[in-house]
Chains A and B, each alone.
Chain A
Amino acid sequence: MHQVEIATTQETLLDSPEMVLNMGPQHPSTHGVLRVVLRLDGETVIDLDCDIGYLHRGMEKIAENRMYTMIAPYWDRLDYIAAVSNGLVWVETVEQMMGLAVPPRAHYLRTILTEFNRIASHLLWLATHALDIGAITVLLWALREREEILKIFERQFGARLTCHAWRVGGMPNDAYDDFEKDVRQFANNFPKRLDEYETVLSENRIWLSRTVGIGVISAADAIAIGLSGPSLRGSGVPWDVRKSRPYAAYADVDFDVPLGENGDTYDRYLVRLEEMRQSRRIILQALENLPDGPVNAKLPKVVKPPVGDYYHSIEGPKGEIGCYLVSDGTAQPYRVRVRPPSFINLQALKQMCVGHLVADVVAIIGTLDIVLGEIDR
């Protein structure tokens, strides 16, 4: 583990002695094994540094020694909360590099199921974010809805969390028999549930005072750091990969992108809530227009992309998940590089936290929506 250096950036109040607090890796609200070293003046954060790597598994290296078809299940383990989106970026990169034409039905199903994954991920974010700020009941309410989505995943993919949802060229299975019924039932109930969360949180004065003006990051700073996803849109930057570089069936569905104004925790909260509503809209549209036909493209016996490199990215729940792939023409990739949204979003932590209290650090880690599996890879 590398030595964490903390520079004193700010004069302390009245020469009071500073305290270095080691938050994590075993801490209930660092969302995994993130270690944050805080320099505190009283409870005010003067400086902080993140120490990561406790969950490093060498995913990119593993990928160099696996065949193209075998890598998708590993990609589920990057951001295990959004396994479906992560799997999608891998298979789409390979497909586009090979120039495979994926049948439209597979594209639509991919759209529906990745949007479900977005809702599931945002629900888990809402649950843990609310828990960090102390609204414990919302945790279980949000997980209850997530359970419905996970049941759909289980029926469709055969697993709940790390689904191994996609195969290069399409999907392993067509939609199961009651798929449409389950989706519609979820879509019917979900807006009412969202309203319930809003009743407890959105207007609550304690919630407002804990989130408004906390962890402010301006649009220019957000772009400079390279934030993406809801964290970027909370600052008011109109950037959504689904819109700017439509993949799967996103070119055929109509949806709005929520944009915040101030770039504080409350804005990001509202953006994510609205994204869940928009996801539901996308799901219903895609379900309405779901074409018939096969779900698998015709695949060569061994998947071998042509020599060259390729970058493809999709809009994951946490931001832009990218995959850079270098192929040397064999059945195994030469080099794979992931653009991890959580890792890049985490870089904003210091800028957001300095000057706030310890309690706000927890809220800000929550609002960045990081997953350590993806940061450490």
Chain B
Amino acid sequence: MPLVKTPKPTWSQKLKRFFMIDLIKGLGLTLKYNIGAITDKDSVAGKGIYTEQYPKVRPDVAPRFHGAPRLNMDPETHDTLCIACNLCAIACPEDCIDVIAMDVEIIVAGKPRRKKVLDEFIFDTSRCMFCALCQEACPTACLELTQEFELATYSRAGFVWNREMLEQGRETVKYTS
């Protein structure tokens, strides 16, 4: 289309075009890649094949990755770290966290006191957008988005995680072949 100005070509440019150097260079590059893939060598990055064979080879997920949620427990007493403060539910933009607390009577220094403890924790992963605002809001580092990324289930109900799932983790089949 002669709609745009084209600069006057030099002789070397004309000759290059005449001998189809442009096409030959491109074909040479793909051939180089083909040979590089077979020998798994590449001049730039050192490897010729970039495929990760996913179920066979597990990807290494970054430590900061925002994946499946988890409620951490005290490693010694195995009590939940959650103090039912509801900050995560307030911070959540999608409103997908429900913290259900209950009052229990405990004896502190000989006197009966009421304390709010966690009863049930509902986390709707189908609505979660993994922004990690809840994780940042948690004062006790209890709620954490882990490196687990396989969240698919067969039903919508399966996306709603309760306290047990959040604490123990969900059982998933890990395909390895």
Interface residues of A (CB under 8 A from B): 66-67, 69-74, 77, 137, 144, 147, 151, 154-159, 162, 164, 167, 172-173, 176, 189, 192-193, 196, 199-200, 203-205, 212-214, 216, 261-262, 264
Contact = CB atoms under 8 A, between A and B. Distances in A.
A164 B132 contact: yes
B159 interface: no
Contacts, number: 89
Nearest to B147: A158
B64 A173 contact: yes
A203 B6 CA distance: 14
Contact of A144 (B1, B50, B65): B50
B142 to A, nearest CB: 18
Nearest to A201: B26
Interface in B9-45: 17, 20-23, 25-26, 29-30, 33, 43-45
21 contacts: A67-B93, A69-B133, A70-B133, A77-B129, A144-B50, A154-B61, A154-B64, A154-B65, A155-B63, A156-B64, A158-B65, A158-B130, A162-B129, A164-B130, A164-B131, A173-B64, A176-B64, A199-B25, A204-B23, A205-B23, A216-B3
Q: Is the interface of B mostly helix, strand, loop or mixed?
A: loop
A93 to B, nearest CB: 17
Interface of B: 1-6, 17, 20-23, 25-26, 29-30, 33, 43-45, 50, 61-66, 91-93, 129-133, 136, 145
B30 A213 contact: no
Given A158-B65, A204-B26, 7 more contacts: A67-B93, A73-B129, A158-B64, A159-B130, A193-B44, A200-B29, A261-B5
B62 A70 contact: no
Contact of B3 (A200, A203, A213): A213
B44 A192 contact: yes
Contact of B29 (A151, A196, A264): A196
A41 B58 CA distance: 53
B64 A214 contact: no
Contact of A137 (B30, B44, B133): B30
Nearest to B64: A158
Contact of B65 (A67, A159, A189, A199): A159
A77 B25 CA distance: 40
A157 B4 CA distance: 44
A234 to B, nearest CB: 12
A172 B3 contact: no
A70 B93 contact: yes
Contacts of B62: 151, 154-155, 158, 176
B64 A200 contact: no
Contacts of A159: 65-66, 130
A158 B50 contact: no
A354 B61 CA distance: 48
A214 B66 contact: no
A216 B136 CA distance: 49
Contact of B64 (A155, A189, A192, A261): A155
A203 B17 CA distance: 9
